[in-house]
Amino acid sequence: MDGKKMLIQKSSEIYIIDASGDAPKNLNETKVDLSGWSFSLNPRDEWRQMFLEAWRLERDYFYDTTLHDIDYDGLLEKHLPLVARVSDRYELSDLISHLVGELSALHIFVRGGDLRETPDDIQIGSLGARLIRDEARGGYRIDHIVRTDPDYPELRSPLAYPDVDIKVGDVIKEMNGVSLLTVTDPSILLRNQVSKQVLLTIVSGSTGDSHQEIVRTISAREESDLRYHEWEYERRLMVEKEGKGDLGYVHLRAMGGNNYSEWVKNFYPVYNRKGLIIDVRHNRGGNIDSWILEKLLRKAWFYWKPRVGQPTWNMQYAFRGHIVVLINERTASDGEAFAEGFRRLGLGELIGTRTWGGEIWLSSNNFLVDRGIATAAETGVYGPEGEWLIEGHGVDPDIMVDNLPHETFNGKDAQLERAIRYLQEKIEKEPVDVPVHPQYPDKSFQYDDKIP
């Protein structure tokens, strides 16, 4: 307080330096050692404080100052006595969920915090394949190996590497020397084996010969991602086959930073097709809808004709053909904003089922003291007609097509099939051809013999 010293925080470190104006020669020598600090906390007192804070932050951040006209003070009075019965952080999150859920906004998520985790969390390794018990052949038969786009070799099943001699139909007889028939499921032998080498004894399905292979497993999360890549790859192959080279396919998992490159990798190779399917089914949202819509709004207005080769057009990479967007009940947030914008801007039709229905945007800045959060829906979305958009209802498709569970399990995709047919019919009725270049100009001169 005498002004001779300054306390400075840099990241998570605290320093005390002279207030003379001269920088210390060695900042580390002025660091306050906090390594020995510890505090005694009464969890129930902290939980009560966090509960009240979650209630207050929701009140102060929510986009509607009237809080959807609910009795928010009354909700606090109703729920606060239950805090005394909370016995861990998970139960606190559950109670907070009951409180803030009364606001009926889909972008309110309760997550994070100082959650107690078990020290014996067991991670299960995966081989990236579907295995079926086959007692007659002495092990588990490989029924399917997850396949992905060969252009991205880093995305492949552990059984699909070129130096691994394993094929569909082969049988895994042993894993690290243990017979697979001695366990009820192969995952038992893959406990705590994530990213580790595993020795497999393989019986060939074609010759019956036995040999051993070493593979490195992946995690359950990586396997889930691998299967998603397979789903995307199979959709694209289907469009290529059924569309006969006239149609392109782009799937966007979300609308975040990584999805810029996802768009670039999948759109630009097919920008000159006659039709395009943009698939935002299962899209988790983000904030790049305007960027993608901007690309789709580009219109070609003149053409370049080189001496050799096909014409190209200005407004480079403008898509000139017909477009449809696939949506479903798992299309969320900014995926929904993209779909609604696509239709309102007159870019094409929406095919599928009604979307999730969450369109009050958020920043996720209202954290609690233990870094948990009950996110506040902060920014509502409305249209020029003066109506709130999407929230609580979703985006309705122009063409309703549902993927039935059993058909989907068997590999059928009715929504994608309908999109392909729609575009093919549209192309036939309204052809998308590059205009033929005009006749080259005749600039020869006619000389009059009478002119000297």
Q: What is the pLDDT of residue 279?
A: 98
Q: What is the pLDDT of residue 318?
A: 96
230, 232, 340, 391: the catalytic one is: 391
Amino acid sitting at position 124 = I
Dihedral class, residue 233 (left if φ above 0, else alpha if ψ from -120 to 50, else beta): alpha
Run of H or E including 251: strand 247-251
Does pLDDT of 449 surpass 70? no
* Angle at alpha carbon of residue 19, lines to 18 and 21, rounded to 5°: 105
pLDDT-derived band at 447 (thresholds 50, 70, 90) equals low
pTM for the structure as a whole? 0.89
Mind giving me the DSSP string for 115-183? ----TTPPPBPB-SEEEEEEGGGTEEEEEEE----TT-TTS--GGGSTT----TT-EEEEETTEEGGGS
Q: What is the pLDDT of residues 294-308, one digit of tens each?
A: 999 999 999 999 999
Q: What is the pLDDT of residue 277?
A: 98
195 is catalytic: no
Q: Which of 289, 283, 279, 282 is nearest to 415 (CA)?
A: 279
333 is catalytic: yes
391 is catalytic: yes
Query: Which residues are CB-neighbours of 331 under 8 A, at least 6 positions away?
Result: 280, 281, 282, 283, 339, 352, 355, 356, 395
58, 102, 107, 174: the catalytic one is: 107
Give the domains, in start order, of the chain with CATH numbers. Answer: 1-36 (no CATH), 43-111 (3.30.750.44), 129-218 (2.30.42.10), 244-359+394-429 (3.90.226.10)
pLDDT-derived band at 164 (thresholds 50, 70, 90) equals very high
333, 336, 359, 378: the catalytic one is: 333
What whole-number distance in Å separates Cα of residue 311 and Cα of residue 140?
55
pLDDT-derived band at 253 (thresholds 50, 70, 90) equals very high
SS3 content of the chain, % helix, strand, coil (to 5): 30, 20, 50
